[in-house]
Structure 1
Amino acid sequence: MSVGALEEAARLMRFAVGEGVGGGWRRLTGLAAAPLHATGRAPDKLVIAPQDLRTSDPTRAGEIYAGVFAFAGKSVPVEGASPFRVEPPSPEWAEALHGFGWLRHLRAADTTLARANARALVEEWIALGGGGDPIARAPHVTARRVISWLCQSPLILDGADRAFYRRFLRSLARQTRRLGRARRLAPDGLPRLNVACALAYAGLCFAGDGRLLKSASAALAEELDRQILPDGGHVSRNPSALVEAMLDLLPLRQAYAARNAQPPQSLLNAVDRAMPMIRFFRHGDGAFAQFNGAGPTQADLVATILAYDDARGPLPEEAPHSGYVRLQGGPSAVLVDVGPPPPPGASRDAHAGALSFELSSGPEQIVVNCGVPRFGRASWGAAPRATAAHSTLVVADTSSCRFASERCAGLLGRIVVAGPRAVVARRERTAEGVRVAATHDGYARRFGLIHARTLTLAAGGDRLEGEDALRPVHAGRGPEDSRVALRFHLHPGVRASVTQDGQGAMLALPSGRGWLFAAPGFAVELEESIYFAGANGPRRTEQIVVHATVRGAPLIGWNFRRLDGDLGSERRARSTGRDDGPTLI
């Protein structure tokens, strides 16, 4: 058995607690029995250059030429040294550098200087072999580099001599062979799909390598069948994973057509299924719902992807395989997480957000989950993934999922090691509007409780009724007197003040529209919160909190109601006691 297969066996043993010995052994034997073929010689030439759908900024070309490499929120001035030899400020920065996605900015500049700079940097990387940084050889980073070099090959090769052309092709062939051997060693989820995509890109771009294309297409089909669920969601349950996947899959579909090659049916099916789901997760302002690792929405990328959606069928109302439902009433939308955690290998970004929801009205978001920042996620630890960072009920400040400890994170990543096993949901239309009733057992083992939540959105979208209850797992067995917090995190654009009776909160939206929250019979408080998914970084915001105890509150009823008219800027300022300017933290 090869060294790579032995490493995979060790990794599978580490995941055995979550995936089971049988599933791990099947993957191990599959690795040993199905190596991916790639020829040992370099291709004679490249025959196509796939399209890169990621947006570019030609002004970045000047920064790179000046030796300033700004990636993942960190800017590093090189000042004459090689960027591939500097100490990276973060792993994310190193991944971006060695992934070469920034070549698209040089191509957008469309100058002789930018083309020469791109070629010089690629040749420098080849000569240094990546500079010795292990991140440069990680399978998913290698995959991103192969895709970037192939897509930007017209930029890199314009004006190049024959000797550089051969060195470039040899390096691409060598990296492709390495990917073929290490495909199953990539982290599960998007990284492994990226590797499969890179191999298919290479098979389509390399002249005369039909065996690579055939085996790469089979590998791509295998990953797509496993990762893109029947309803179009991604196995990680991360809405933004669909955007990342489509940025590679759409040009890949075009590349098959350009080579007059038959694409895998799994590729065509995956694109057709995923497009409606991308629209499913969007609020009225175009932003994605913040579930399971979906950070700030890059609206330009989403718009680019949706331009390829020819079918434009009706918006899905349920995603049973992904574990989400959408309630639509008039201009208002409610998105609800009604699924269990994803499989352990795909749960590195999963959140403990069972039965959490988000509410928007037209182009304005009202209730959100805290989400995650685009960069520097590790510095926040597990806080954004905790149940308390979601708009749902929390028992005794405890999350409904458990994540791998810091001690194990180096081996496992912060995967979900325990969470709800049974999440049951039923969506139906009623005389009042559209209703979803759901339960999860994430608190059953520790507290002996089942969380039940019912949400009803009025047909006109002007009212959202909710009920939250905690039921004992065993009939007749009284639950412990645990503290309960029902949390509703507000979008940073919403200004809130507690009503005079203390049982509600007045909400002022940026447009001047007003909403009223009420929880009759319960004291309502406003507490500080953080919206991690701000476009320019985490932002301070507020959350509505209803505190109770398990025994004292078997059922908490609450509602959000839209108010008629405009609250007026003066009234909003008086009710909040603070200015309306954004505050970055």
Structure 2
Amino acid sequence: MDFGPDRWRLYRLAAREAGRAMRESTVWSLSGLSSAPLPTRLLFAPQDLRTADPTVATDIYSGFFAFSGRAITTSGRSPFAFTPPSRAWGEALYGFGWLRHLRAAGTALAQANARSLVDEFVTSKLGDKRLACETQVTARRLMSFISQSPLILEGADHAFYQRFLKILGQHVRTLERQLRAGALPYQQLMAAVALCYAGLCCEGLDRSLKRASRLLARELDRQILADGGHASRNPRLIVELLFDLLPLRQMFASREVDTPEALLHAIDRMLPMVRLFRHGDGTLSHFNGMGVTAADHLATLLTYDDMRSQPIHHAPHSGYERLEAGRTLLVADVGAPPPRPLSWEAGAGCLSFEFSSATQRIVVNCGSPRHAAGPIIQASRSTVAHSTASINDVSSCQIVDKKGNWLERRVAGWLLRRVGPVVIAGPERVAAERSEREHAQMLSASHDGYRPRFGLTHERRWLLAPKGNVLEGEDIFWGEGAAQNAQAIIRFHLAPGIKASLAQGGRVVMLVLPNREAWQFSALPVEAHLEDSVFLATPDGMRRTEQIVLAIRPSEMPSVRWRFERLARTFDPNQPQEQGPELI
């Protein structure tokens, strides 16, 4: 498959990126003409809120480095001399976030090991220097060095202390040059956070702190939306940012430096947004790059929510809606793709939803895998990996990938190295509206992602009954000049552990949940089918599951209605069932 008419978007993106590359080259060629002041001493270290495991320190001391599903055994060599087995592994190694595990061990051996590894990083020939020097990785490494400086410097001599200060100064200088060269938006935000860490924790970097504070305020205003979501629409990035911004807020207070208003307001908006995505099992919804939820991390994070805020239900700027009744919860993606520079993990899941009862997920998206090869990650971003409708199994978004003719493959390959697999085309008009009728919550949304190729607009409606025992929905496909061969395929991916079976000739699907709840799915006027599926957002790879599939031809049948109904909490057939209002 090639890029079709979207090839011109690909070429325009490449032209803009070429201009940025030229600007980078100019800045780096002039970098020797300027210098940044070196820190004269460390004042204090911020708290790292991420949980740590002291047993990992033993693995690292023995030369076993396991990150992101890949591992190497160094056999006495420096880990930095190895070519990273995956990009994620390299980012983790070069980011030094694992130092927190050594600090948790609390031993003199762990302290000496940390100093040795910092020295090795500086003196070794790196297996992937380009990756190690990327803005985001450099920023993470600087924050890790500062946060874990008590571990690194405990028992160190004066020579190492001065060498360590020089390393911090070099990182500050590198980040400032990368910012002048025109780093991508999220890289700018991470660089600003890291430079604020350095400016607040190190003496002698006051001018750098002023510049970084201004940049931080600007990027937070740009990237943290009015409802608290990140402009990438990725729930994971909200969590990751909060882990860095909460200690930063405390550092400004500790240094008695005026805290940027943008930082305070961003944190206040982001915490309720995290709760919007949270289901009864404590994990987050799987949209736009969200994978496994680290439950311990999330629990730690929410303890810093001083107001114990309630989840918001309406997030129009981020493009998410939350319906909640009784023990039942639904979170829906009703937003357009994020801005192109922030879309490297975005999925083609417009109008997809996740649905749960108490602590049990029922309908899910496949999620983003923690450890997987490129083709699996690419598949996880496709429309068919989401609980929504696709046309002829074509995704509603076009994502940069090596495909098409030789020129398209060449251009795409270069862009993948520069900006990653970003979205270059997708729904442009996405509309959503909430309402209530007879105390039932209703949500209606539509997108035009299939209009250019198939002449169709997809509209989806949800209705959640007041007690949460019934969820009704309808998918509608309309448009002038719709392709006659277009087939709409509607998928409902089921959470792992649910036992599904067909009944009444496919008109009904019986669902038995692990918590012994029984639900019934029905559809009109089509029959449902069960197909295999996989759930990718698991710590140990992927899990087999099933999906309910409906198929119609919009030219012959423009709409289909479906319904989830809870039959009983347990297997008691005599328990009366409430009927909800019908969807119009």
TM-score normalised by the chain length of structure 2: 0.89
- Matched with 2:110 is 114
Residue identity matched to 1:460: K
Instruction: Please state how far the C-alpha of 1:38 moved relative to its aligned partner.
Output: 9.4
Asked whether the 8 Å contact 1:337–1:357 carries over to 2, the reply is yes
| Per-residue CA distance 1:442-473 (angstroms, 9 max, x = gap) | 0111111111111001111100000111011x
Q: Which residue of 2 is the match for residue 509 of structure 1? A: 513
- Does the 8 Å CA contact 2:23/2:181 hold for their aligned counterparts? no
Match of 1:220 in 2: 216
Q: Give the TM-score of the pair, scaled to structure 1.
A: 0.89
Matches within 5 A, 1:81-160: 81-128=77-124, 130=126, 133-160=129-156
Shift of the alpha carbon at 1:15? Answer: 8.0
Structure 2 unaligned regions, length at least 5: 1-7, 403-408, 573-584
Residues 225-280 of structure 1: per-residue CA shift (max 9 Å, x gap): 11111110001001111001111001111111111111111111110010000001
User: Which whole-Å CA distance do the structure 2 matches of 1:297 and 1:318 have between them?
Assistant: 22
Asked whether the equivalents of residues 54 and 247 of structure 1 are also in contact (C-alpha less than 8 Å), the reply is yes
Q: 2:472 aligns with which of 457, 465, 471?
A: 465
Shift of 1:400: 0.9
For residues 84 and 478 of structure 1, the distance between their equivalents in structure 2, rounded to whole angstroms, comes to 56
Structure 2: how far apart are the matches of 1:548 and 1:265?
Answer: 52
Q: Report whether the alignment pairs 1:492 with 2:496.
A: yes
1:526 aligns with 2:543: no
Give the secondary structure class of the aligned counterpart of 1:467: strand
Q: Which amino acid aligns with 1:428?
A: S
Match for 1:350 among 343, 346, 349? 346
Q: Which amino acid aligns with 2:219?
A: E
Structure 1 residues 220, 287: CA separation in 2 closer, same or farther (over 3 Å shift)? same
Which of 425, 441, 454 is matched with 1:447 structurally? 454
RMSD across aligned C-alpha pairs, in angstroms? 2.4
Identical aligned residues as a percent: 48
Gaps of 5+ in 1: 1-12, 569-585
User: 2:440–2:464: 8 Å Cα contact kept in structure 1?
Assistant: yes
Change (3 A) 1:114 1:221: same
Give the superposition deviation at 1:188.
Answer: 3.3
Distance 1:223 1:20 in 2: 24
Where in structure 2 are the equivalents of 1:133-532 lying within 5 Å? 133-183=129-179, 188-406=184-402, 407=409, 408-411=412-415, 412-431=419-438, 433-472=440-479, 474=480, 477=481, 479-532=483-536
Distance in 1 (CA, whole Å) between partners of 2:488 and 2:533 is 17
Residues 308, 344 of structure 1: alpha-carbon distance in 2 compared, 3 angstrom cutoff: same
Distance of 1:279 and 1:533 partners within structure 2: 19
Task: Give the SS at the match of 1:225.
Answer: helix
| Corresponding position: 1:553 with 2:560 | no
Letter in 1 for 2:164: F
**1:138–1:186 Cα contact (<8 Å) kept:** no
Q: Is the 8 A contact 2:389 2:491 kept in 1?
A: yes
Contact 1:98/1:130, CA 8 A, preserved across alignment:
no
Q: Is the 8 A contact 1:508 1:567 kept in 2?
A: no
Question: Given that residues 10 and 424 in structure 2 are in contact (C-alpha distance below 8 angstroms), is that contact kept between their aligned partners in structure 1?
Answer: no
Q: Partners of 2:153 and 2:257 in 1: how far apart?
A: 25
In the TM superposition, residue 288 of structure 1 has moved relative to its aligned partner by 0.8
Q: String of CA shifts for 1:482-521, please: whole Å, max 9, x gaps.
A: 1121110000121101113311200010011110000032
Q: Is the 8 A contact 2:56 2:102 kept in 1?
A: yes
1-structure distance, mates of 2:10, 2:251: 36
Whole-angstrom distance in 1 between the partners of 2:196 and 2:163: 21
- Aligned residue pairs total 547
Opposite residue 550 of structure 1, the aligned amino acid is P
Asked whether the 8 Å contact 2:529–2:550 carries over to 1, the reply is yes
1:39 offset after TM fit, Å? 6.0
Q: In 2 relative to 1, CA 87–484 (structure 1 residues): closer, same or farther, beyond 3 Å?
A: same
Whole-angstrom CA distance in 1 between matches of 2:101 and 2:146:
15
Q: Distance in 2 between matches of 1:176 and 1:95?
A: 19
